[in-house]
Structures are given as C-alpha cells and as structure tokens.
Structure 1
Amino acid sequence: MPAAFELTNVSVERSGKALLDDVTWTVAEGERWVVLGPNGAGKTTLLQVIGATMHPTRGTVRILGEKLGEVVVSELRTRIGHTSTKVADRIPPAESVQDAVLSAAHAVSGRWQEEYDEEDLARAQQMMGEWGVSALAGRTFGTLSEGERKRVLIARALMTDPELLLLDEPGAGLDLGAREDLLASLEVLAHADDSPVLVMVSHHVEEIPVGFTHVLLMRDGKVVAQGPLDTTLTADNLGTTFGQRIQLDREGGRFAARRAAYGRRANRSPETGETA
C-alpha cells in the first residue's frame, strides 16, 4: 500500500531538549494507529510534525506525497483533520456548534465574513448527524460538556473529508459512559472502508478502539516499539514504555493494563487471598 506519511530519522529540539529523537516511522493507507506513552514521551510533538504544524530539526518528513519544507503547508493542512485541546481553545466559546463544524470548510475558527454554500451546510449537518451532535447545533461551544466537545471536534475534523485524521487524546477528561460512547463511534470509523488514515494518541490501552491495527510505543522522545497491534502491544513493551512491570489483558478486542503484582502479592491465591 502507498504510504500516508513517512518519517525518516526525525528529531525535534527546543531549548536544547530533544522532544523527538531519531524517529523513523511509516504509516500506510488503510492503517489505524494508536500512539502510546507516558507524559513527556513526545506524542503531541509527533502529531504536530505529522499535522504539518511543526518542522523537524533534523530528518525527512513526507506527508500525503509531499515533502515537508518543499510544500505550501497551508494547502497540505487542508488534507489533514486534527483534534486536540489547542484546536478546542481556538473555537470562540460563543460560537454555535453548527458554525464550529461549518467553519472548518475555510480552515478558520470563528465565523467572520467567509461564505458557505449549500454543499458546505449539508456536509456539516451530515457530520453532526454521524457524530450524534445534531441536537446541539444551536448550542454555543462554550456550554458543552467535555464529551460533547470531543464529538464536535471530530465532526469538525472530518468536515473537509481529510485523507489523514489525527486524534490527540480524544478520551481525556471523559467519564466512563462518555468514553465508551466515543470509543463505539471510533470503532465504527475504524471499520469504515472510506475512513481516512487514523492516528490516535493516548496514555491508556483501555482507550484503544476495536478496529485499530497498529501501535507505536514511545518514551523520552524515542520509539520503544512499533508494528501490528496484535504482536507489538505486549506486557514487556508496555513495561519498557512506562517503566513498570505491567500485566496486560485482552477480551473482546479491548485491552486492559495494570501494574503487575510483586513479591507476596504475586503469590496470593485469587480465590482465598492467602499466600501460597
């Protein structure tokens, strides 16, 4: 399959600190990736590079057939959908939900003097319907719950029918019900044949939707492991990534992780609680 993007020996340095350190990563069309790692691992920086909002200090980046540094990035960004807290912060609190989604057609945050046609409006209504926020169309963005905001942001990111969709911690701040609702919707998106390439950043294996195919594990700006989810997401790789012994379980396509028991706890009988 053709590559959606390729990073070759990419490093990003700011104020003498390496945010990314010699990252090489290729994602093909049709793949759905989750990027896992602790705080400070470089995950958000990685998304900024892939989203063409940050240039690397060293290395080569090719996104959707274009080489970063040799392309008009404003045009490239229209082909990439991106959800993050930074995107949310740029949307005026008084903006209506419909306008928050609609304005993505002109890559702006906040309606001003730009014009939209019936096709734009129909697309916005379609996206709001697919992400379950049609009933919120007249509400202002600033009055939404965290779960509602996350759905509006994804509807906005999909407004321009992007070839690449970047999701930066879409489950952060959600309660259990809102998280499960969002994951169910992302599962549908992951299985759809016409979906863009998906890259989702998370801290938690519990937030990996069924249908995602690959994983990239990061620590201190470096790649710990990468590859197919079924063979790469292991307790050993998670332990190296998060600096702890990890117990990893999987049921019904969903993952769960916790710190592995030590010493006497590791020898306790699960039935009686007594030490063997």
Structure 2
Amino acid sequence: MNPSVVPAPGAPAVRARDLDVVRSGVTILRGADLDVPAGEHLAVLGPNGAGKTTLLHLLATYRFPTRGSLELLGHRLGRVDVRALRPHIGFVSVALDPLLEDITVLRTVAGSAIGSVAPPAAVLDEPALVTAAHTALERVGVDHLADRRILTLSQGERQRVRIARALASAPALLLLDEPFAGLDLGGREQLVTVLDALLTEPDGPTVVLVTHHLEELPTQLRRVLLLAEGRAVAEGPIEQVLTSAQVSSVFATPLQVVRDADGRWRATGVTDENRRVGRS
C-alpha cells in the first residue's frame, strides 16, 4: 500500500459533481451529484438500467467519468494513483467471482490484505494476515467456515465471505453491489442482520449499497439515492426519499411503500382493489 495515499482526515467518503458516463454514444449516467460523509451510509435504488452499477464502478475506481469530478476519501480521480487508492476501497460483487480460486476461505480472505484474489499458500504463514482474516470472518459470522473451500459454500455463506474478504483490508469505503442477489429468504435475512451490525460499528467503513428491493435495506441505513434512466431523482434522508409517489415514479409502477414497526421497508403493487379500499 502506498503510504502517501490515505483517506484525507475530515474529507467526505464520496463527493461527486455533475458526473456523466457515456459509452458507445449512450449516456448511462447524467449529471449526478452526490455527497456521502465519512461514517455515514447510503443505499442506491432504481430499476434495471438506471445506472446503479455504473455509479458503483466509478466509486470502485474501475471506471472513470466522461465528464464531471469525483473525489473519493479526499482524493480526486485523475489526480491520484488509483492503484494506491483501491486498497482503501472494499468492493463486493459477484462479478469478481471468476477471479477467485477454489481455495480455503481463510486463504482467500487473508489474501485480500495483499490485494490478491489468488493468494499463494504462504499467505497463511503471515500471522498478521491470518489474524485479520479471522477477525473479518467473525464480523460477518462465518469464522467457522475458515477451513472450507470456496466452491463448497452456499450462496449465503459465499456472500458473507465476499464481505469478509473486503473487510480484511480495513477499507474506509465499502461498496456492496446487489449483495442479496441469488440468496434465498433465509440467506437474505441473515445478511440483513450482518449488515445492520456492520453499519453500527463505530470504526466501521462508510457503506454504499446498491439494490433493487426495499425489503433488502438494513434498518440502520439512513440515506437513499433513487436513480432512474441515469439521473438522480431524489437523494436524502430515507424517510423523505422512500415515499410511495417517488418510488412509483422511479420504477414506473404504482407502488405503496410502507415502513414496518421493526424498521424494515417494503413496497407492494397498487391494484384497483386496494385503491378502492384506500378510498373507503
């Protein structure tokens, strides 16, 4: 890790101004502004094709904006060596799975501290890396899987290992790209519990989570960005953004948005019948 590239004290985790992303003549992201203070957390919601994954790839430094400015952890893209910045950014995505070898969970997670997706067995001879790996696995509740091989894990177990791998390098910014994809109901609820605990850690990373579904939002998330057709429709406190009107507009479907007593969110379609009930 380049010691000269560290998160700037007091700087926001993310500061974006007027971001455009154009690919093959198609504008994927248009005029996006975003501020995520260090230590706060953000959910990014929107339908397929809204630009969510593109935005996350920008924040992961795997893509650069066509226009506009983007600062991550106090460093502006285009003026910083992203190879030195990336160790401070944890990126969790199933798209990275083909890069992982079928080795033990402990070796996989320990290797993340040296930036390797296929670390040599010798990584387990480094006590500091092994300790960091066990600590990360404990944080997401899967240290008991340390000696299992990656391909023997269920989808839910594998997703928690992906998050542990990102946490092992102690990132300042953690990016979760649709972390609930492929999970069954039990796996989803277990992961929501894990994320809620992570979001309340006083020294934990700033988290940006991308999802399609309100039901997947941890209760500790306080801010939301709604994207549609590459544009930011609304961003701010979750109670102000997740209204039935705004969510219906973004997903182009009549929806009723409800927050349950336990703090979880859900959206259901509005039918002619429940319209009549609502008017009665």
Residue matched to 1:272: none
CA distance in 2, matches of 1:111, 1:20: 35
CA distance in 1, matches of 2:130, 2:167: 14
Choose which of 251, 255, 268 in structure 1 pairs with 2:265: 255
Deviates more, 1:110-119 or 1:122-131: 110-119
Instruction: Find the counterpart in structure 2 of residue 165 from structure 1.
Output: 174
- How does 1:119-198 map onto structure 2 within 5 Å? 119-198=128-207
Match of 1:206 in 2: 215
Q: Aligned-pair distance for 1:114?
A: 6.7
The residue number in structure 1 matching 2:71 is: 62
For the residue of structure 2 that corresponds to 1:224, the secondary structure is strand
For the residue of structure 1 that corresponds to 2:113, the secondary structure is helix
Shift of 1:99: 1.1
SS state at 1:3 partner: coil
Summarize the alignment of residues 1-276 of structure 1 with structure 2, pairs less than 5 Å apart. Answer: 2-92=11-101, 94-112=102-120, 115=123, 117-251=126-260, 252-262=262-272, 264-268=273-277
Change in Cα spacing, 1:9 to 1:139, as seen in structure 2 (3 Å) is same
- Judge conservation of contact 1:224–1:240 (CA < 8 Å) in 2: no
* TM-score (ref. length: structure 1): 0.93
Offset at 1:88? 2.2
Q: Shift of residue 113 of structure 1?
A: 7.5
Which 5+ residue runs of structure 2 have no aligned equivalent? 1-9
Q: Residue 120 of structure 2 aligns to a residue in which SS? A: coil
Q: Equivalent residue of 2:119, what SS?
A: coil
SS of alignment partner, residue 69 of structure 1: coil
Normalised TM-score (structure 2): 0.92
Aligned residues: 269
CA distance in 2, matches of 1:224, 1:124: 39
Gaps of 5+ in 1: 270-274
Counterpart Cα distance in 2 of 1:235 and 1:37: 14
- In the alignment, the residues of structure 1 paired with residue 184 and residue 274 of structure 2 have an alpha-carbon distance, to the nearest angstrom, of 30
8 Å Cα contact 2:12-2:37 kept in structure 1: yes
For residues 76-101 of structure 1, the C-alpha deviation after alignment (integer angstroms, 9 at most, x for no partner) is 00000110012222111x22111111
Identity, % of aligned positions = 38
Asked whether the 8 Å contact 2:111–2:129 carries over to 1, the reply is: no
Say whether the 8 Å CA contact 2:18–2:68 is kept in structure 1.
yes
